[in-house]
Structure 1
Amino acid sequence: MTLRCSPSGPKDAKIALVGEAPGAEEDGKTPFLGYSGKELSQICREANLPREECYLTNVFMERPQDNKLQLHWCKGKKEVSEEYKDIL
């Protein structure tokens, strides 16, 4: 079972950064921790953008079982549209 990864940062932020789904480091915490968080922090520094002024969230709030995003995305669906099959 995975825990919900809650968004962080000001809700009225001018910039929102949206990840795909929480990784193991973010399970039950906030988005963009671990390696992705280090990368994001570096990008924010280089862009002169204070990370704490950004709203951070994910498309999926829970980490997919065994990191299989396809199963998480398709949960409850009988068939995936042809246009999306190539990206899953």
Structure 2
Amino acid sequence: MSNDPLEKLHQRERQQERERLRELEAKDLEVEAKRGPRPLEGFAGGHTTWTGKQDDEAASEVHAHDARDAWEASEEQVARLSPDDEAPARTDEE
């Protein structure tokens, strides 16, 4: 470790930033572990006539092909980034 005070300050700042990011990641993981409906931030107490059934109906139309589209986009990315002499690392079985 360097004896330079400026270098020590930078190291301490980097360590604090890593700790802050770890805490944020832990909070994100905690939130993601809880499944269920989540109110929009800032509108949690607002009255609405929108129902869960409407959400389900809209989602079935809007997001009907999301999984397929994401898979195709991923395959295209793998093909684009793979060397020409190698096959893609992913297969449908994974």
Return the structure number with greater relative CO, CA threshold 8 A, min gap 6.
1
Structure (1/2) with the larger helix percentage: 2
| TM-score category (smaller protein) | under 0.3
Under a length normalisation based on structure 2, what TM-score does the superposition of the two structures give? 0.21
Structure (1/2) with the larger strand percentage: 1
Which of these two proteins has the greater Rg computed from alpha carbons? 2
Under a length normalisation based on structure 1, what TM-score does the superposition of the two structures give? 0.22
